[in-house]
């Protein structure tokens, strides 16, 4: 018991130090620019907890961040870097919106599952291409997944301006999906939707898969040393393929949830900067699937704080993004200190 | 658009589009040749674009802007060198972190300096520099010797890098560091110094590649102005086999695809412009199928050399 | 000459630690001008660490180095080279894609730096190589060269820099007995021309043949320095292994008492290989062409050869890692088409040669490493879910039995030292209790007591009627443990010798393709 307590402490201390150091650095900069530092801190950290609505908003933000992080960390367990979560999200959203629009009249018990499944399948297919290139030709997945993000930007632009365009909207946007494709709300008078439950469920399943099953062990062994894993009977190439497709499916799910839970339509730019935040979350959590949801929640709090700060204090939200990147940098540095 | 239709205009555009690819890719190659694999290009280019633009805007000098972009890139390079060469941290993860910081800082700096305006501030674009005599050669003179200074610079730096790496004993030592740093170290070559120098200079080149975009293409800075050119530069580095001369050649291919895609978008065609816009990314992916087969990467690329580490022996 | 004038190098009170590990403790070494000085000790005794300190690769925590009577600071290889020290590392430090000449001149102050004109350096290289019998082609790219030539390049690197003290770290491991003789002749020629040589080895026989004086290291301490004539073989053995081992009952040192037991073999065929062939995957390694052999129950079959002649391919094709042609029958069933996972399940275990690349999961825990390959079978798993409690319990048992030095089963495997990685791989293989074990250089990096432990384990398996395929570059090991030894050269079996016919020079000829 005591042992566990110490080991949790040992894990948390570097995080607290990293967060403090990043905030100090950002505070110094904010102060130099002539803003009120303490008020900025307060806004960043506490905005999420000021009202039930703000808290619900945080949880809504938490959903795509968590899923994008998982889309990155599942392949990461096998040593593969999926930097294509953005494209997989967009294509997943396209699939979900397409089903939601085409079958708009289906009842909720049919349409909603179809919308969600379409998102997963489309996201997985978008990841399957780089995964196949890796499997078949041994092409590094990092560049192919990144480049496909740029392709997806064009794709969503085409769909939202040419195929299912909503003529009333100024921004490239499609017509809404059928009402049966919308995720139900969990709390009245907030926009917290049932996608939150799906995301948490996925996180739990991923944790069990990677940490408690033989199949998940193979994933981790492959990530630790693919060549040795192969020498001991693990089919590493198939695992690369599988892990990237799973990651793509989870990213596609995040796209479907954005469509079904938040926008109820396809909007260009709905991917926000979820990919980058997902990468930061996954790296801060060091790929540990127990830690990912907690880090994702923390980053969601910061992001809600960032928009509030930009609104009320006119400090650009990028400030918080840099804080998040600095936290990552300090976490990486703390590993070094511990090794010494 | 006669720029596109006349042969001369078309060829000139290709040379124009060559520059960011060449500079960013040679910068990647240079540090890679000492084993430091830089993946922060996209962030460095964005920072270079933002800083270069803002400095040029306020000093009214594009040259100072370019120098500032190089310095900004160099600072990221210094950080990358410190984290990888001195602290031996995972180069890829550090590169990603620096990519995030460059991305955030580029947009933050712009918003803090310029603020939110409807009318985006502009800088004049880089003017052409006609080379005396050579510029008077018919057709060729117009294509090759009446370009902006960075076009000449990117070709000259490629030639210089080729000469340095393959024809001098300094280059021999530099390449040895990326192939087997322990061997180089055991023969008295200063591995750490080499890695710092190449990473800083390489990142400075990448910064200039970023500054080129607002200073030559658009005259304004917009978020995400690089449109993935940093990532494409990495692909080009592999395509060029980590050799300066082949990178220059390969850059022509990237530039031609970009110009063709632009031309088709402007002139109009049966294919929706959205799909034409994806041409550079799609072709790059297919190019990689070919490039990864024959490319010989520096043997120590992406790995950190630690003199006292025992487990590798 | 007074004693101090005859001394070229003195190291006094050298101490070096890696984290909690004390690698060197108050070590003293004294090398005279014009002598071949043997540095003898088991693996992990600290020989290489000491020489890396001398060469400026490691920074000592304490101690003093004096060259030519003057105390010197050696903070980097550059400074060591400046003092006239040259070192040939066990794993060659070469740029594979460079030519021999480029490798040799690298880092030297060339007169014509901006043009990379190597005409003059090449003349010097040719002169040196003729003088000391180290023939090579200066323009050949190293990756295409055999190990013997690459070793000459390493020696020439030092000679080219006018070294007066040459350190050779285990230089004979990759050579045939004939090549060893030729190396020894070159070294004797160098000493005659005034150089001093430090010769690092764990093979007593070699130092007794070659060296004038011998320093023995054990557990990071210098035990004794003696002239060859001053002492018997036994004195050196005792100095190497210390008191913890009973030499009289040791397999390694009292072989004859185990002879009958080792010579015994069962009658039933366990493994039958017929026409095994492997296509070339890369040009570096030789393919395997048409190998046929059998291995009986309780037999230890040895494979002898210079590294890179097909050993790795043999192991990998038998383990199903590498595609191959031919027929393999194991325990009465054909298994040519089976994949690695099925082979492991049928009772074949593997200890790969390249422990860092093929054996270790550095980013996983020691426990996760130990279950690799058995991770779908009881007691570690019910096929679907892992049994974390059973994994920890069994791992701790293996850590204790095989004396793997680690804080806990949950520690990161990247922190294991080379010898402990080897113990971990052996623990993994032995714990599967396999009917057939394929082991490739199983005792590399192990100290003498651990080597003894492994040999005893192999003997235990033999008693239980299980088979072992022992692939090794160490002829002493093969001759000690095997019932038969197959000598290979360029992917072919040149011949098979029975126990009793074992003869190092004969096998050496076969390994070089001369027979």
For B307, which of C48, C57, C112 is closest by C-beta distance? C57
Q: Which residue of C has its CA nearest to B189?
A: C107
**Domain that residue B280 falls in:** 11-294
C376: which chain A residues are within 8 Å (Cβ-Cβ)? Answer: 214
pLDDT digits (tens, 9 = 90+) for C354-400: 999 999 999 999 999 999 999 999 899 998 999 999 999 999 999 99
Measured from the Cβ of residue A311, the count of other Cβ atoms closer than 10 Å reads 12
- What are the backbone dihedrals phi and psi of residue A311, each rounded to the nearest 5 degrees, phi first? -70, -50
Task: Label residue B1 by pLDDT band (50, 70, 90).
Answer: very low
Question: Is B303 inside a domain boundary?
Answer: no
Count structural domains, chain B. Answer: 1
Q: What is the pLDDT of residue C19?
A: 81
Interface contact flag, A214 C375, Cβ < 8 Å: yes
Q: What is the pLDDT of residue C143?
A: 86
Which class is A52-313 in CATH? mainly alpha
A46–C contact, CB cutoff 8 A: no
Higher-confidence position of C162 and B142: C162
Report the first-to-last Cα separation within chain B, whole angstroms: 63
CA-wise closest residue to C343 among C316, C378, C311: C316
For B108, which of A137, A318, A333 is closest by C-beta distance? A318
Instruction: Give the distance from residue C389's alpha carbon to the nearest chain A alpha carbon, in angstroms.
Output: 11
Alpha helices (H) in chain B, listed in sequence order: 2-5, 7-32, 41-59, 62-81, 91-114, 140-144, 149-167, 169-179, 181-186, 191-212, 229-239, 244-267, 273-277, 279-294
Mean pLDDT computed over every residue of chain A: 94
Share of chain A above pLDDT 90, in %: 89
pLDDT digits (tens, 9 = 90+) for A112-139: 999 999 999 999 999 999 999 999 998 9
Question: Is B308 inside a domain boundary?
Answer: no
Report the first-to-last Cα separation within chain C, whole angstroms: 49
A258–C contact, CB cutoff 8 A: no
CA-wise closest residue to C233 among C216, C249, C218, C250: C216
Is A297's pLDDT higher than 90? yes
Domains observed in chain C = 3-249 (3.40.50.300), 266-360+434-511 (3.40.50.300), 364-415 (no CATH)
Task: Label residue B295 by pLDDT band (50, 70, 90).
Answer: confident
CB A112 within 8 A of CB A305: no
DSSP labels for B67-83? Answer: HHHHHHHHHHHHHHHII
Task: Label residue B8 by pLDDT band (50, 70, 90).
Answer: confident
B92–C contact, CB cutoff 8 A: no
- How crowded is the C-beta side of C44, counted as CA atoms within 13 Å? 21
Question: Is B301 inside a domain boundary?
Answer: no
For B101, which of A33, A143, A322 is closest by C-beta distance? A322
CA-wise closest residue to C403 among C384, C422, C388: C422
B293: which chain A residues are within 8 Å (Cβ-Cβ)? Answer: 137
Q: What is the pLDDT of residue C215?
A: 95
What residues are paired with C333 via a beta bridge? C330
Is A6's pLDDT higher than 70? no
Q: What is the pLDDT of residue B129?
A: 86
- Confidence (pTM): 0.92
Counting one residue from A and one from B, how many pairs have CB atoms under 8 Å apart? Answer: 107
Contacts of C247 (CB under 8 A, 6+ apart): C237, C238, C241, C253, C254
Task: Label residue A338 by pLDDT band (50, 70, 90).
Answer: low
Question: Is B305 inside a domain boundary?
Answer: no
Instruction: Give the distance from residue B281's alpha carbon to the nearest chain A alpha carbon, in angstroms.
Output: 6
A4–C contact, CB cutoff 8 A: no
Chains that touch C (3 or more CB pairs under 8 A): A, B
Is B114's pLDDT higher than 70? yes
H or E, element range at A4: helix A2-32
Question: Is B144 inside a domain boundary?
Answer: yes
Contacts of B118 (CB under 8 A, 6+ apart): none
CB C216 within 8 A of CB C202: no
**Tokens standing for residue B206:** 């990448």
Question: Is B310 inside a domain boundary?
Answer: no
CB C65 within 8 A of CB C145: no
Interface residues of chain C, partner chain A, Cβ below 8 Å: 316, 319-321, 339-344, 350, 352, 357-364, 368, 371-373, 375-376, 380-381, 383-386, 388, 413
Domain boundaries, chain A: 1-35+315-340, 52-313
From the first residue on, what is the mean pLDDT of each consecutive set of 10 residues in chain C (515 residues)?
72 91 92 94 90 94 94 92 93 92 87 76 93 91 87 94 94 88 94 94 91 93 90 88 81 85 90 89 67 94 91 93 91 90 94 93 95 93 94 96 93 88 95 95 89 93 94 93 94 92 92 84
Query: How far does CA C470 lie from the centroid of its chain?
Result: 15
CA-wise closest residue to A251 among A130, A59, A61, A73: A73
User: Quick one: angle between helices C418-431 and C388-401, nearest 10?
Assistant: 120
Higher-confidence position of C469 and B131: C469
Task: Label residue A282 by pLDDT band (50, 70, 90).
Answer: very high
Residue linked to tokens 């040419």: A162
Q: What is the pLDDT of residue A2?
A: 46
Residues in chain A: 340
CA-wise closest residue to B205 among B75, B24, B44, B49: B24
Counting other chains too, the contacts that C186-190 makes at CB distance below 8 Å and 24 or more residues apart are C186/C132, C186/C133, C186/C134, C186/C155, C187/C36, C188/C36, C189/C131, C189/C132, C189/C133, C190/C132, C190/C159, C190/C166
ipTM comes to 0.93
Is A59's pLDDT higher than 60? yes
Q: Which residue of C has its CA nearest to A225?
A: C361
Higher-confidence position of B131 and B80: B80
Substitution target from C58, C93, C355 for chain B, most B beta carbons within 10 A: C93
B293–C contact, CB cutoff 8 A: no
Is A170's pLDDT higher than 90? no
Interface contact flag, B311 C103, Cβ < 8 Å: no
Interface contact flag, B87 A336, Cβ < 8 Å: yes
For C375, which of A217, A223, A235 is closest by C-beta distance? A217
What residues are paired with C304 via a beta bridge? C472, C487
B293–A contact, CB cutoff 8 A: yes
For B272, which of A147, A162, A336 is closest by C-beta distance? A162
- What are the backbone dihedrals phi and psi of residue B293, each rounded to the nearest 5 degrees, phi first? -80, -40
Is A32's pLDDT higher than 60? yes
Report the CATH number that the domain containing residue B201 is assigned in CATH. 1.10.3470
DSSP one-letter code for B6: S
Interface residues of chain C, partner chain B, Cβ below 8 Å: 18, 48, 55, 57-59, 76-78, 81, 87, 89-91, 93-98, 102-103, 105-108, 110, 112-116, 157, 356, 362, 414, 416-418, 421
For C97, which of B171, B179, B185 is closest by C-beta distance? B179
Counting one residue from A and one from C, how many pairs have CB atoms under 8 Å apart? Answer: 79
Q: What is the pLDDT of residue B312?
A: 39
């Amino acid at each position: 018991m005591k042992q566990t307590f110490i080991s949790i402490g040992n894990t948390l201390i570097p995080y607290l130090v990293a967060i403090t150091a990043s905030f100090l650095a950002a505070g110094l900069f904010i102060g130099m620019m002539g803003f009120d530092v303490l008020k900025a801190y307060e806004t960043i950290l506490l905005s999420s907890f000021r009202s039930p609505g703000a808290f619900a908003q945080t949880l809504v933000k938490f959903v795509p961040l968590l899923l994008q992080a998982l889309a990155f960390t599942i392949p990461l367990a096998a040593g593969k870097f999926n930097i294509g979560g953005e494209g997989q999200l967009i294509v997943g959203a396209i699939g979900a919106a397409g089903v939601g629009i085409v079958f708009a009249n289906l009842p909720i018990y049919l349409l909603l599952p179809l919308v969600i499944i379409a998102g997963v399948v489309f996201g997985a297919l978008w990841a399957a291409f780089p995964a196949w290139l890796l499997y078949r030709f041994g092409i590094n997945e990092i560049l192919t997944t990144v480049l496909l993000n740029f392709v997806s930007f064009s794709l969503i632009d085409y769909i939202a301006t040419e195929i299912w365009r909503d003529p009333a909207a100024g921004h490239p946007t499609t017509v809404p999906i059928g009402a049966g494709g919308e995720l139900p709300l969990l709390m009245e008078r907030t926009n917290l939707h049932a996608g939150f439950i799906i995301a948490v469920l996925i996180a739990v399943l991923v944790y069990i898969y990677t940490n408690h099953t033989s199949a998940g062990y193979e994933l981790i062994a492959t990530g630790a040393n693919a060549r040795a894993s192969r020498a001991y009977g693990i089919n590493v190439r198939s695992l690369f393929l599988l892990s990237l497709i799973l990651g793509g499916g989870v990213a596609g799910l995040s796209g479907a949830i954005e469509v079904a839970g938040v926008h109820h339509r396809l909007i260009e730019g709905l991917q926000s900067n979820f990919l980058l935040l997902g990468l930061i979350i996954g790296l801060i959590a060091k790929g540990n699937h127990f830690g990912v949801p907690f880090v994702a929640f923390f980053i969601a709090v910061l992001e809600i704080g960032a928009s509030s700060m930009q609104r009320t204090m006119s400090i650009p939200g990028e400030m918080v993004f840099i804080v998040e990147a600095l936290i990552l940098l300090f976490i990486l540095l703390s590993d070094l200190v511990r090794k010494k | 658009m006669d720029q596109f239709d006349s042969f001369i205009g078309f060829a000139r555009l290709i040379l124009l589009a060559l520059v960011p690819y060449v500079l960013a890719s040679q910068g990647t190659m240079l540090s890679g040749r000492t084993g430091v694999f830089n993946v922060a290009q996209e962030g460095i280019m964005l920072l270079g674009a933002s800083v270069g633009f803002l400095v040029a805007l306020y000093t009214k000098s594009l040259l100072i802007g370019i120098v500032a972009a190089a310095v900004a890139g160099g600072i990221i390079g210094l950080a990358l060198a410190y984290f990888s060469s001195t602290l031996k941290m995972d180069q890829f993860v550090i590169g990603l972190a620096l990519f995030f910081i460059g991305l955030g800082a580029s947009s933050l700096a712009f918003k803090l300096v310029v603020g939110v305006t409807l009318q985006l501030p502009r800088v004049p674009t880089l003017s052409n520099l006609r080379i005396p005599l050579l510029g008077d050669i018919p057709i060729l003179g117009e294509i090759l010797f009446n370009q902006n200074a960075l076009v000449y610079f990117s070709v000259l730096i490629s030639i210089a890098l080729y000469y340095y790496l393959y024809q001098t004993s300094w280059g021999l030592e530099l390449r040895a560091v990326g192939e087997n740093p322990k061997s180089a170290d055991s023969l008295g070559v200063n591995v750490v110094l080499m890695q710092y120098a190449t990473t800083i200079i390489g990142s400075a080149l990448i910064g200039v590649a970023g500054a080129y975009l607002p200073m030559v293409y658009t005259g304004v800075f917009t978020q995400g102005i690089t449109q993935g050119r940093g990532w494409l530069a990495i692909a080009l580095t592999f395509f060029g086999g980590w050799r300066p001369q082949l990178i220059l050649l390969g850059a022509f291919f990237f530039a031609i695809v970009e110009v063709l895609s632009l031309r088709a978008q402007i002139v109009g065609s049966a294919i929706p412009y959205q799909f034409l816009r994806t041409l550079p990314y799609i072709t790059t992916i297919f190019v990689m199928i070919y490039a990864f087969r024959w490319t010989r990467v520096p043997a120590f690329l992406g790995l950190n050399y630690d003199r006292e580490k025992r487990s590798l022996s | 000459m007074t004693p101090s004038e005859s001394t070229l190098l003195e190291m006094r009170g050298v101490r070096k630690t890696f984290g909690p590990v004390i690698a060197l403790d108050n070590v003293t070494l004294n090398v005279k001008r014009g002598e071949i000085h043997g540095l003898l000790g088991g693996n992990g005794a600290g020989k290489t660490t000491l020489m890396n300190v001398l060469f400026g690769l490691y920074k000592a925590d304490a101690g003093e180095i004096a060259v030519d009577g003057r105390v010197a600071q050696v903070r980097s290889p550059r400074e060591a080279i400046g003092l006239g020290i040259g070192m040939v590392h066990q794993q060659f430090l070469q740029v594979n894609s460079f030519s021999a000449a480029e490798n040799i001149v690298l880092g030297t102050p060339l007169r014509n730096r901006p043009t990379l004109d190597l005409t003059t350096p090449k003349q010097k290289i040719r002169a040196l190589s003729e003088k000391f019998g180290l023939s090579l082609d200066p323009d050949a790219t190293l990756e295409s060269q055999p190990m013997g030539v690459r070793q000459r390049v390493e020696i020439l690197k030092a000679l080219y820099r006018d070294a007066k003290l040459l350190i050779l770290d285990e230089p004979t491991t990759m050579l045939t007995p004939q090549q060893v003789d030729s190396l020894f002749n070159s070294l004797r020629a160098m000493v005659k021309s005034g150089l001093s040589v430090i010769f690092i080895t764990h093979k007593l026989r070699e130092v007794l043949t070659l060296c004038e004086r011998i320093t023995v290291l054990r557990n990071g301490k210098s035990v004794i320095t003696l002239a060859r004539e001053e002492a018997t073989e036994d004195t050196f053995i005792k100095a190497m292994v210390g008191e913890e081992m009973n030499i009289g009952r040791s397999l390694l040192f009292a072989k004859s008492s185990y002879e009958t037991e080792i010579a015994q073999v069962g009658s039933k065929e366990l493994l039958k290989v017929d026409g095994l062939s492997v296509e070339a995957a890369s040009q570096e390694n030789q393919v395997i062409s048409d190998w046929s052999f059998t291995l009986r129950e309780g037999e230890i079959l040895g494979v002898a050869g210079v590294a890179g002649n097909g050993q790795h391919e043999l192991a990998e094709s038998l383990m199903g890692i590498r595609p191959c042609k031919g027929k393999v029958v194991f325990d009465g069933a054909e298994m040519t088409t089976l994949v690695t996972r099925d082979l492991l399940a049928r009772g074949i275990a593997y200890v790969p040669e390249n422990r860092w690349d093929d054996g270790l999961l550095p980013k996983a825990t020691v426990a996760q490493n130990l279950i690799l390959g058995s991770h779908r079978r009881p007691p570690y798993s019910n096929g679907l879910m892992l049994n974390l409690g059973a994994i920890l319990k069994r791992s701790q048992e293996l850590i204790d039995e095989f004396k793997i030095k680690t804080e806990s089963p949950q520690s990161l495997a990247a922190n294991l030292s080379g010898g402990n990685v080897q113990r971990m791989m052996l623990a993994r293989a032995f714990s599967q209790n396999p009917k057939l074990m394929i082991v490739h250089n199983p005792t590399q990096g192990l100290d003498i007591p651990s080597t003894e432990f492994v040999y005893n384990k192999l003997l235990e398996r033999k008693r239980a009627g299980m088979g072992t395929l022992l692939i090794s570059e160490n002829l002493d090991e093969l001759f000690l443990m095997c019932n038969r030894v197959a000598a290979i050269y360029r992917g072919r079996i040149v011949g098979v010798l029975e126990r009793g016919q074992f003869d190092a020079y004969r096998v050496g000829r076969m390994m070089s393709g001369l027979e």
